[in-house]
Structure formats: C-alpha cells, structure tokens
Structure 1
Amino acid sequence: MKDDDILTRINGLIAEEHELRARLAAGEVSAEDENDRIVSLERALDQCWDLLRRRRARREFGEDPRDAAPRPIDEVDSYQQ
C-alpha cells in the first residue's frame, strides 16, 4: 500500500463519517447505530494514520516504507490511553 492509497482510505472514512452524521441529523439512522459505526470509523482512521506516520518515519530514516504493516486496531487504540 502506498501513502496515496492510505490517504485515499482516510478521506473515504472521513467522508463516510460526515455522511453518517448527516443521516443521523435527518433521522435516517438511530443514534445507537450512528455511534457504533462512528466508533468503528474512528478506530480505522487511527490505524490508517498510524501506518502513514510509520511509513513516513521509515522513509525519513532511510528505511523502506513498504516494511511498515498496519498494526492491529487494539494495539493502536491502546496508544490513546
């Protein structure tokens, strides 16, 4: 996966988040369904940003960014605690 692919994924997740919030405001989804999906989207975003930062760091230090793999979501979540 290339940096541009990761950024495209991030933008898609953000767009979905905005759409979901608009659907909640329009009464098309319940607050519970919106919240469940938002949590999932935020976790996926954290995972993508983590991977992008690690790829950039590897590149900065002369290492191959392709060696950076996505970390499990549970591992990325633990950074915020």
Structure 2
Amino acid sequence: MADDGAMDETSKEVHQHIDELVAREHALRAAQVGKGLDPEEQRELKHIEAQLDQAWDLLRQRNALAEQHENPDAATERPVGEVEGYLN
C-alpha cells in the first residue's frame, strides 16, 4: 500500500470495471431514448446497475481502509440487497 495516496492495483482494476459498466449503461440508456429496451436489455440494465452499486461500495471500502492505514484487500464485495439498501 502506497502512502502517497496512489491507487493500488486492485482498486485500479475495480475502477476500470466501473468505467466499463458505465460505458455499457450509457449505451443502453441511449438506445432506450430512441426505441426503448427489449426485455433482455432491461434485465441487462438492471444487472449493470446492481454491479455498479457493488463496485462503488467495494471501492469506497478499499479507500476507507487505506485511509486508516489498513489493508484495502480486507474489503469484501457485499450482496446487492445490502448495497442497494443504502439508498433507501
């Protein structure tokens, strides 16, 4: 773990995964505007939204652990129901 605030490799991978999910989410939302989404695309969008919630939660956990000078690898992916519940 670097003390200079640099992102560790695993956090970079999580962030890259988030970027990929966001790109796909944007593509689906753009398609939704023109023609709407078929049921499969709607399921995919819901799945992407859930994956994004989990990925952002994991990244926040990793950052919090690193700020406390603890091992960010101790962060764990939490169930969708748990991370989505934070918004309610």
* TM superposition score normalised by structure 1: 0.83
Gaps of 5+ in 2: 1-8
- Find the counterpart in structure 1 of residue 4 from structure 2: none
Tell me the amino acid that sits aligned with residue 57 of structure 1.
Answer: A
**1:8 CA drift (Å):** 0.7
Structure 2 counterparts to residues 2-81 of structure 1, below 5 A: 2-27=10-35, 29-30=37-38, 32-81=39-88
Displacement over 6 Å in runs of 4+: none
CA distance in 2, matches of 1:50, 1:72: 10
The separation in 2 between residues aligned to 1:39 and 1:29, in whole angstroms, is 12
Change (3 A) 1:23 1:76: same
CA distances 1:35-75 after superposition (whole Å, capped 9, x unpaired) = 33222111110110000011000000011000101111111
Alpha-carbon RMSD across the aligned residues, in angstroms, is: 1.9
Task: Supply the distance in 1 between the matched residues of 2:56 and 2:82 (Cα, whole angstroms).
Answer: 13
When the two structures are superposed, what TM-score results if normalisation uses the length of structure 2? 0.77
Q: Specify every segment of 5 or more residues in structure 1 that has no aligned partner in the other structure, as ranges.
A: none
